[in-house]
Amino acid sequence: MCGIVGYIGEKNAKDIVLNGLKKLEYRGYDSAGMSLWDNKTSDHTLIKVKGRIDALEKRIDIKESPLAIGHTRWATHGKVNQENAHPHTSFSGRFIVVHNGVIDNYKQLKKTYLNDKTFTSETDTEVIAFLIDYFVSESLPADKAILKTLRLLEGSYALLVIDRTQPDLIYAAKHKSPLLMGKSNQGIIIASDMMALLPTADQYVALEDETFVTIHQDAFTIFDLNGTVQPYQMQPIDMDDMSSEKGAFDHFMLKEIHEQPAVIRKILNKYFEKNDVLLDTAMLDTIKKHDRIHILAAGTSMHAGLVAKKLLEQWAGMPTEVHIASEFAYDMPLLNGKPFFIMISQSGETADLRACLMRLKKDHHTVMTVTNVRTSTLAREADMVLTIHAGPEIAVASTKAYTAQIAVLAILSYALSHQSFDLKAELSKIASAMDSLLEKHEDFKPIVESLLNKRHCFYIGRGLDYAVALEAALKLKEISYIQTEGFASGELKHGTIALIEEDTPVIALISQNSTASLTRSNLNEVKSRGAKTLSIVVESLRENGETMLIPDANPSLAPLLMVIPTQLIAYYAALVKGYDIDKPRNLAKSVTVE
């Protein structure tokens, strides 16, 4: 979703901001813009485009600049066009603003303060620029005008503001949308995502909510919204710039699919000492004092939650419910007993989850975040954190985060249980089985070509296989745009089977002994009605004619392997159709608006 990068310092701000914006492309965007100080004209220029950063870059004819701010926009208020792209300028032209987030009361603010003004965009952001100008016209100095504006805003914002009369200064502000300050000895970089700080900065600080910052090239000062200086501590940046490169792979998605065995091994290194689980016993004791777990998540992370629910129930005997975060935040179910909350989020920035967290904290509940980004908002604000150690996930379609989330939650479930099997050995076996499945990844191209030639498709399964079917369907629709449903196979005949016609692709997932024959019967029912079918089956349950085989593993951990072919099916389906695999249409990697 929207991205922000700003830089002031001795290096070339134009290159740093453009590179930073490119690093944020993975989050999804539809237009881009930049404002740079031009030494020739001694003024700021502003360039915006509908479309990609490459197009923006071509339009910039300044070679060097000491100060620049840039933005990638994922439309929330108003169409995708150049007028609505950021930065936005105030009515006198003095202030230039980029903004992530949503201002809920912008219409009201327009009516109260800016009724006589003419706006050039449909965005809520332009109101922020205009308000600052309005308060300056009422004779407030710029910093006081920005603070007054911030105090009036309801909603979320990460903001950078340029005052054209102060060429050596950037203002920043943050509430509910992430914003990080990075520092090196050659300047200050500000960005909405850690990825964009690299390789410019070596230290960073994540801004708290309701903060305002003044930034000069060698120092910055953080204030609260009353203008009182706030203390802060810089942290070293613990991320490798190379890990966000594609390497030998054509797409980040394919690279990330292939990284899964290594991620599982890394998780084993981080969470085991010999055969003992390395999890804080005080943390485990706290969880054990509760009698029901509620998992909150969105998208793929929610699907990982569905698998984790089974593990927490089967292994640890903890009744567990899984909720869609955007539903839970505003339609909270009746909670009884002593509920414990686990938020699963790859990015740790999903706004729907932040809304849940605010609500839960208000009611003094204990919350754990399971995330890939230790420095993220949800990690910082929860009571406990488990890191999934998947490394940066750049492709919008999540793959390695899903399996890493399941692996880490399997370790947690095991640590909460009295199980005595060798989980470490089981997970290492899975990493090796993933390797062997991935060796044959190119075999999926012809399978996809012969199977997926319809506009729709079904994945079916029962129990854990149903949980994987939901993720498999999401993956396929996200990047190949084939309308795909993940379905509980027994439920098909209660209505949905009416959709089956000649050659409708139906893929069955079969990894559980107790339901294998039932799922097969359901597959036969659709086959009799013309469906083109494929079974993905664990070796020990194989029947004649079934060729897509998955190595056997602990059945409770089978989703870690069953999902691999479905990720490859999605990848090759999008490849065959020629779609933008890593940046599918309309989607964002990190969804920072509700």
Binding site for ligand G6P (CB under 6 A): 298-301, 345-347, 350, 353, 396, 398, 587, 589-591
Pairing of strands 220-224, 456-461: unpaired
Cβ 434 to ligand G6P, closest distance in Å?
20
Q: Which residues contact 309 (CB under 8 A, 6 or more apart)?
A: 293, 295, 320, 321, 322
Nearer to ligand G6P, 120 or 586 (CB): 586
Nearer to ligand G6P, 197 or 401 (CB): 401
Cβ 208 to ligand G6P, closest distance in Å?
21
Cβ 473 to ligand G6P, closest distance in Å?
13
- Radius of gyration, CA atoms only, the chain: 25
Nearer to ligand G6P, 371 or 556 (CB): 371
Which amino acid is it at 35? S
Nearer to ligand G6P, 121 or 300 (CB): 300
Nearer to ligand G6P, 27 or 266 (CB): 27
Q: Which residues contact 452 (CB under 8 A, 6 or more apart)?
A: 476, 480, 482, 505, 569, 573
Pairing of strands 367-371, 384-387: parallel
Cβ 570 to ligand G6P, closest distance in Å?
12
Residue 405 to residue 172: CA distance in whole angstroms: 34
Token couple for 265: 């091994």
Handedness of CA 432, 435, 439, 442 (dihedral sign): positive
Cβ 326 to ligand G6P, closest distance in Å?
10
- List residues with catalytic annotation: 2, 589
Chain position whose Cβ is nearest to ligand G6P:
299
222 phi/psi in degrees, rounded to 5: -105, 135
Nearer to ligand G6P, 8 or 298 (CB): 298
Which amino acid is it at 4? I
127: helix, strand or coil: helix
513 phi/psi in degrees, rounded to 5: -55, -40
Closest of 319, 318, 325, 327 to residue 369, by C-alpha: 325
Cβ 397 to ligand G6P, closest distance in Å?
6
279: helix, strand or coil: coil
Cβ 353 to ligand G6P, closest distance in Å?
6
DSSP class of residue 453 equals -
Degrees, nearest 5: CA angle 486-492-497: 105
Report how far apart, in Å, the C-alpha atoms of 41 and of each of 34, 44, 53, 92, 94 are.
17, 8, 24, 18, 15
Degrees, nearest 5: CA angle 570-574-579: 150
Residue located via tokens 């904290």 = 361
Nearer to ligand G6P, 100 or 350 (CB): 350
